[in-house]
Amino acid sequence: MTRGTRVLALSVLALAAVSACRKKPEVTPTPSGPTPSPTCDQRCRDSIALSEKRRADSIAAANAARDAAERERALATTKATLAAPVYFEYDSDELSPDARATLDAKLPIFRANPSLRIRVAGHTDERGSDEYNLALGQRRAAAVKRYLSDQGIDGGRFEIVSFGEERPVVAESNEEAWRMNRRAEFEIIAGAESLVAPK
């Protein structure tokens, strides 16, 4: 602590002591609270009411903003959960435990949003035949739809499509790119406006 700040701290303490002394006589025996003191005139009471209202309003606004932010966050999480792709092994449409977990996380969203409809798009890596990969992508999308239907979600809520190797996420030729490109993606085709987070 420097000398200067020490002086500043002392003067602050002194000021506080002075103002405490000055306020003391104003304290009345009447109970504190919303009831205005007899010494408070109408203007005084209005001003107190206004400030009380402002305080209440600001609390309500803060609460509303917090709720909205929470809802927003929950909706964003919901959307992200819904859009989360599932990944596949090379030349396979089998759903791994990870893929099943990704799909299971989507189930409450489908249950909470009966008007929600989704397009499942199957994709492949660049290896193999361009054309055969379209069929493989179709098989992947179909496997996803079948799994979700098996979990009790109406199959009519899913459209499936394949883009084969035509739309890679990572346009590179290495294991990591191939892993990222062997996927099924999820696109909302109905019910996006009324989407709510599951309870």
Partner 1 sequence: MSLLRRCALACVVSLAAVAAVVAPARAQDTTVAGVRIGLVYAPGTRPGVLVLPVDGTAGDSIRAILERDFTYGDRINVITLEPSAIPQFGSGSARPNYPLFTRLGVAAILQVTPTSFGIQVTVHNAGKGVAERTKAFPLPSGTLSADWRLALHAVADEIEQWVTGVRGIAATRILYVSAGRVWQVDSDGANAIAITSSGSNAMSPVWHPKASHIAYMTMGATGQQVVIREIGGATRVLPTRSGLNMTPTFAPDGYTIVYAHGAESGTDLYATNAFGNEPARRITVGRGSDNTQPSFSPDGRRLAFTSGRSGHPEVYISDADGTNAELLTPYNFGDQSYRANPDWSPDGRLIAFEAQLAGRMQVMTIGLRDRVIKRHTSEGTNEQPSWAPDARHLVFTSNRGGTKQLWVLDVESNTVRQLTHAPAGARFGAWSPLLRAR
- CB-neighbour burial class of residue 186 (10 A; exposed 0-12, middle 13-18, buried 19+): buried
Beta-carbon-side half-sphere exposure of residue 35 (alpha carbons within 13 Å): 7
Question: Computed from CA positions of residues 27, 28, 32, 36, in that sequence, does the dihedral angle turn out positive or negative?
Answer: negative
Of 103 and 197, CB closest to partner 1: 103
> Identity (one letter) of the amino acid at 124?
T
- Which of residues 117, 139, 190, 198 is near partner 1 by CB under 8 A? 139
The DSSP H or E segment spanning 86 is strand 86-87
- Please, what is the minimum distance in Å from the beta carbon of residue 175 to partner 1? 11
- Please, what is the minimum distance in Å from the beta carbon of residue 146 to partner 1? 7
- The interface with partner 1 within residues 75-104 (CB under 8 A) comprises 90-91
Is residue 198 a contact point for partner 1 (CB under 8 A)? Answer: no
Of 45 and 146, CB closest to partner 1: 146
Determine how β-strand 86-87 pairs with β-strand 183-190: antiparallel
- Please, what is the minimum distance in Å from the beta carbon of residue 107 to partner 1? 20
The percent helix, strand, coil of the chain (3-state, each to 5) is: 55, 10, 30
- The interface with partner 1 within residues 145-174 (CB under 8 A) comprises 145-146, 159-163, 166
Residues in the site for partner 1, rule: CB under 8 A? 90-91, 119, 127-132, 134-136, 138-139, 142, 145-146, 159-163, 166
